A and B are shown apart, each in its own frame.
Chain A
Amino acid sequence: MANKLLSEMGLPKSIANVFTARNLLTARDVLSLTEFELMEVLDVGLAEVKSAVAQVSEIACPAYQTVSILLEQQIKNEYYSGHLPTHLKGLDEVLCGGIPFGVLTELVGPAGVGKTQFCMKLSLLASLPATFGGLDGRVIYIDVESKFSSRRIIEIGVNSFPELFRMEGMAQEMAGRILVLQPASLAEFTESLQQLKVSLLQHEVKLLVIDSMTALVSGELEQGPPKQHPLGWHISFIKSLAEFSRIPVVVTNQVRSQSRNEVSQYCFQAQSRDETIEGSATFDSHLVPALGIHWAHAVTIRLVLEANSGERFMKLAKSPISPPLVFPFNITSCGISLLSDTGVEMTGPQINTIRNQGNSDIINIHSTRF
């Protein structure tokens, strides 16, 4: 709507010609200027400018819906009411059916905790026929870190759905639906995203996985506070991709350790006096998501995966429909599975902390030997 041409808006002829003559062709051009600037540029009176701006605004404005109509449409139009079931019973229940369509779902956690495993399991699930609870569609898997393993996908498939994968040619068909892209640079990544926009709709793609968002920019993020986020464009583009093609988008995020001079994530300048000291003391041994707070605002569902004293936990840290919950999980030959289907509710900001002490005992044994 933003790039809608002025010439199609039915403005009065006289003023429409003036706009064209000044090279103001779209709604964006006009609305980026104030009324006073427009008077200057167009050389017409205030009243004309006002009525023209009002008309342009009305046409460029997206149509409204009442929420009850919105809800009806969602129930009517989308099978599975717009969710990709994860086949993790507890998680599906609290998320009203699984990973929702049309929004970003983020997996964040330390290396080796199971982010890629989760992504691969989800890709497999989306490609399964509907009779097996899948979405029966193609999957686009953007594998930035070159960690995708087709052998592992088949293994997960054979172990979780033996009856399906034993059928002749089924494994080939399922794996054939997963398209893997391996961009090597940010520019390449940007290009493939732009191409995706068209192909998502043409080829019945039902899931987009990006593993991971972080790898391409990790070098750039470290120096100073960047004025504009290097992924700013990507964030809004991926969000709009999800929205318009109504598919679930799963994105992974790495972690980094928090630098000492950074104030704890959860304190504000205004309150920094008493709480910060206590806060930063407890938090600075922790890991934080590598993409900062800007990115965290953009995701709708955030799942934190963490390892602590030999056990792995999945924490539903941000969700508009569920309270913060923690599930213990492990990784088996079937992919990810939950150890308990009832999550433990967790209050407070601990839901966002990421622990990674899974390997410490092993490393200690080695270090004592030397």
Chain B
Amino acid sequence: MEICGLAVSATQRGKLISAGYTSLSSLSSVSPSDLARDLQTSESQATEILKAASHCGRLDKSDGGHAIVAGAQTAWDMLHEEDLSRRITTSCADLDKILGGGIACKEVTEIGGVPGIGKTQLGIQLAVNVQIPVDFGGLGGKAIYIDTEGSFMAERALQIAEARVEDMSEYHDFVRKNFQVCQVQMQPQDFLKNIFYFRVCSYTEQIAVINYLEKFISEHNDVKVVIIDSVTFHFRQDFEDMALRTRLLSGMALKLMKLANKCRLAVVLLNQVTTKYSDGSFHLTLALGDSWSHACTNRVILYWNGNERYAYIDKSPSLRSTSAPYSVTGKGVRDSASNSKRIKMM
């Protein structure tokens, strides 16, 4: 591996090259004091360089096979962990079914669709549903809602939370017949208190929020879902340098993925649609281009099929491509009224 990939500042890299250290292997057997003399820098700086070099080297050798790599996890452990972690329900049984039980933690899920199909509704619903207490089969977490479009309506969140409380008290009555548990009855206000709302007004702020999230989450425990509504808005307006856009977007995607993994939470990105010209005709496709479509783990497309709203799994490493109907009612996202059972296999 070349020295150019090393995470050191430009002057130090220049010094390294001029002193003849052009590859990582040439750094592997040199002592800090020798290096400091060759580069004419302090010994502490030389130690820093060697640290960075050994860090790079370790990643390089990771294909060695027998060595157990630091930070890795076996597939068996991952399976076990996945079984233990709960998913966030969408309040629509069919949708949950095709999603394998709901929105998964430690994954980035992108949801896109035409205007008015219910993206924001689904976002608010998830922000409320993540708070269903553990006793009721939920996660008992908190939600971060990052609003870039200004389409979040507090009144609507209240409506959805009220409907949720109603549903829960029904369940509560049902459970009480068997056990004397669950005296924690949540009020709609409690739901609203646990949604942290960020209003973002430019792409710089969007990046800033995402950078800051890790710290924010460490200060506020139990955040289980981060919803960005929509990830697209600021990147679609007023952006001349498309290369910069791609760079910023991929940086953002990486940070979100890291966050999802590290803090064990679900990241839900809402995306808009755009028209794409291919094969001599216009198609609708999710916005932000082809390189962005690699950024998320799961991709769900919402669309109209006749008179019904449908969700379609467009991309997922573990779920099959199926579609399922859902509906948006006064109470929030619910099962489709006309067919409750049928799921069409594509």
Partners in one complex: yes
A positions within 8 Å CB-CB of B: 1-2, 27-28, 31-32, 34, 36, 39-40, 42-46, 53-54, 56-62, 64-68, 70-71, 74, 96, 102-103, 224-225, 228-229, 232-233, 235-236, 239-240, 242-243, 261-263, 265-272, 275, 292-294, 296-300, 302, 317-318, 320-321, 323, 347-352
- Quick check: B284 and A268 within 8 Å, CB to CB? yes
- Quick check: A2 and B308 within 8 Å, CB to CB? no
Q: Tell which of B48, B193, B200, B204 has the most Cβ of chain A within 10 Å.
A: B204
- Report the minimum CB–CB distance from B247 to chain A (whole Å): 7
A66 vs B203: C-alpha distance when bound (angstroms) = 22
- Quick check: A348 and B304 within 8 Å, CB to CB? yes
- Quick check: B304 and A266 within 8 Å, CB to CB? yes
Q: Of all chain A residues, which has the CB nearest B272?
A: A297
Chain B residues whose CB sits within 8 angstroms of the CB of A235 once the complex forms: 237
Chain A residues whose CB sits within 8 angstroms of the CB of B158 once the complex forms: 71
Q: Of all chain A residues, which has the CB nearest B337?
A: A347
**Number of residue pairs A-B, CB distance < 8 angstroms:** 226
Q: Of all chain A residues, which has the CB nearest B346?
A: A271
Question: Is B340 an interface residue, CB under 8 A from the partner?
Answer: no
A53 vs B212: C-alpha distance when bound (angstroms) = 9
Chain A residues whose CB sits within 8 angstroms of the CB of B189 once the complex forms: 68
A34 in contact with B201 given A236-B234, A271-B312 (CB within 8 Å): no
16 additional A-B pairs beyond A39-B10, A232-B238, beta carbons within 8 Å, are A2-B201, A36-B7, A45-B8, A45-B9, A46-B8, A67-B197, A261-B282, A263-B282, A268-B283, A268-B301, A271-B312, A293-B115, A298-B233, A299-B115, A320-B120, A348-B308
Top 10 closest pairs, chain A to chain B, by CB? A348-B307, A57-B211, A2-B204, A318-B116, A68-B192, A60-B208, A296-B115, A236-B237, A67-B192, A71-B154
A80 vs B322: C-alpha distance when bound (angstroms) = 46
- Quick check: A268 and B285 within 8 Å, CB to CB? yes
Question: Is B72 an interface residue, CB under 8 A from the partner?
Answer: no
A192 vs B52: C-alpha distance when bound (angstroms) = 54
- Quick check: B212 and A65 within 8 Å, CB to CB? no
- Quick check: A229 and B303 within 8 Å, CB to CB? no
* Contacts A/B (CB < 8 Å), 21 sampled: A1-B201, A32-B248, A39-B10, A57-B208, A57-B212, A61-B208, A62-B199, A66-B192, A66-B194, A67-B195, A68-B189, A70-B197, A71-B154, A225-B276, A233-B237, A262-B275, A268-B273, A268-B301, A269-B276, A296-B115, A323-B329
Chain A residues whose CB sits within 8 angstroms of the CB of B149 once the complex forms: 239, 297-298
